[in-house]
Amino acid sequence: MESRLLQCEFLSDDISGVKLIKRNISEPSSKEILIKVKASSVNFPDFLMTQGKYQHKPALPFGLGMEGSGIIQQIGDDIKDFNISDEVTFGALGQGAFSDYVLVNERATDLKPSNLSFEQAAAFQTAYLTAYVSLVRRGNLASGETLLVHGSTGGVGMAAVQLGKYLGAKVIATGTSEDKLVYTKDWGADHTILTHKNGKVDFREEVKALTEGKGADVIYDPVGGDVFDHSIRCINWGGRLLIVGFASGRIPNLPINMALIKGFSVIGVRAGEYGRKNPEAGIENNIAIRKICEEGYLNPHICKVFNLDEGKDAIKFLSERKLIGKVVIKTN
């Protein structure tokens, strides 16, 4: 079967190494599933991988697209939990979700939340699984605590705002644009703060003012850089600082005396790896986020949809940080 694929052929800073090619898809092996892709989510690691700056560095050339949604076309002989025509979400790191068809292992496949469109479902798994592992498994966020979400207008930030509100936290959402932060109110944020003022990072005093001088109990940080540097000065005693990523481009250093003085923990989060290291917990995580979603508490916001032949434009749009929520590639 012939299928188009958005492929990275060589690394570059301007995504010039990305091309739409055609490839042949083989029959599924005994534990594989062939999926007709309906939509796929564009994530920041997709852009970083085209530059060779992401921790996962696949051999060139490689297919782009970490996750998507679609309809099962064929199943391997050993597949028991899925059927042809099932609507599913899937992970495709290294396989390439930016495609017409994709072969994935059954362990990377899950049933699509029934209340989501294919576009929303494509944007669901990575963002909301990251938020769940961060806030529930690693951060132990409790009802009534204060959650500070950085990068709140992006995909993983949006997911953390919604899930934090569901868990009963007081949610403070931060970002670099007042126009974008308006959306976080609809997602459940109680307060919003601009991280940058007059060209400088400046938010810690506002966080303290909103927390009676104590600081946030849990800080969700996919940004890093200067935002991290200021976060360690507005975290509560016994707080948990969750390291989700470094979208700012700078990996910060921790003055370890600050952790000693304030008694806080710095916790790294790799949601996919968490499930691989703890398979039973990984299954529980997926069941939990789908259940919360189908109850109506999690709702991915899609700000722009591109066609597959516009895939490079979708990555460029993401890299320019124009998005609010998620960007999706639609496959007809």
- Percent of the residues in the chain that have a pLDDT greater than 90, as a whole number: 88
pLDDT greater than 80 at residue 216: yes
> What pLDDT is stored for residue 44 in this prediction?
87
Same domain, 68 and 47: yes
Q: What total number of domains does the chain contain?
A: 2
Answer yes or no: is 6 within a domain: yes
Range in 89-93, 202-206, 324-328 the model is least confident about: 89-93
Q: What is the mean pLDDT of residues 26-49?
A: 94
- Considering the domain architecture, whether residues 142 and 261 belong to the same structural domain is answered as yes
Q: What is the pLDDT of residue 252?
A: 93
List 260's β-bridge partners, or say none. Answer: none
Quickly state the pLDDT bin for 55 (edges 50, 70, 90): confident
Domain around 105: 2-124+301-330
User: Is residue 244 in some structural domain?
Assistant: yes
- The runs of H, that is alpha helices, within the chain are 44-51, 118-122, 125-132, 155-166, 178-187, 204-210, 225-231, 256-262, 271-277, 279-294, 311-319
* Adjacent-strand bridge partners of 193: 174
CA–CA gap between residue 229 and residue 65 (Å, rounded): 31
Domain containing 114 — which CATH number? 3.90.180.10
Percent of the chain with pLDDT over 70: 100
Instruction: Name the burial class of residue 318, with classes exposed (0-12), middle (13-18) and buried (19+) by CB atoms within 10 angstroms of its CB.
Output: buried
pLDDT at 1: 86
* C-alpha to C-alpha distance for 316 and 47, rounded to whole angstroms: 8
- Dihedral of alpha carbons 55, 58, 62, 66, sign: negative
Confidence of residue 242 (pLDDT cuts 50, 70, 90): very high
- Domain match, 77 and 118 both: yes
Structure tokens belonging to residue 185:
């109110």
Mean pLDDT of 207-226: 96
Any bridge partners for residue 267, and if so which? Answer: 242
Report if residue 290 sits inside a domain.
Answer: no
pLDDT, tens digit (0-9, with 9 covering 90-100), for 129-155: 999 999 999 999 999 999 999 999 999
Rg (C-alpha) for the chain, rounded Å, is 20
Same domain? 252 vs 132:
yes
Q: Angle at Cα 133 formed by Cα 142 and Cα 208, nearest 5°?
A: 45
Predicted pLDDT at 93: 77
Residue finishing a domain among 227, 257, 272:
272
CA count, 13 A, side-chain hemisphere, 238: 5
Indicate whether 122 pLDDT > 90: yes
Statement to judge: residues 58 and 166 lie in one domain: no
Q: CB of 10 within 8 A of CB of 19?
A: no
Residues 140 and 246 in one domain: yes
Residue among 260, 180, 198, 194 nearest 227 (CA):
194
In a domain, 78, yes or no: yes
Same domain assignment for residues 262 and 132: yes
Q: Is the model's pLDDT at 212 over the cut of 80?
A: yes
Short-list 257, 244, 195, CA closest to 218: 244
Does any domain span residue 262? yes
Compute how many other C-beta atoms are within 10 angstroms of the C-beta atom of residue 134: 31
Same domain, 98 and 9: yes
The model's pLDDT over 77-96, given as tens digits with 9 standing for 90+, comes to 999 999 999 999 999 877 79
Average pLDDT across the chain, whole number: 94
Which contiguous run of DSSP H or E holds residue 62?
A: strand 62-63
Q: How confident is the model at residue 267 (pLDDT cuts 50, 70, 90)?
A: very high
Confidence of residue 197 (pLDDT cuts 50, 70, 90): confident
pLDDT of 42 strictly over 90: yes
Determine the pLDDT at residue 19.
96
pTM confidence score:
0.93
pLDDT of residue 259: 94
- List 22's β-bridge partners, or say none: 4
Is residue 177 in a domain?
yes
Domain membership flag for residue 286: no
181, 194 in Cβ contact below 8 A?
A: yes
Residue 248 confidence (pLDDT): 85
Report the first-to-last Cα separation within the chain, whole angstroms. 16
pLDDT for res 247: 85
pLDDT at 92: 86
- The reply to whether 52 and 156 lie within a common domain is no
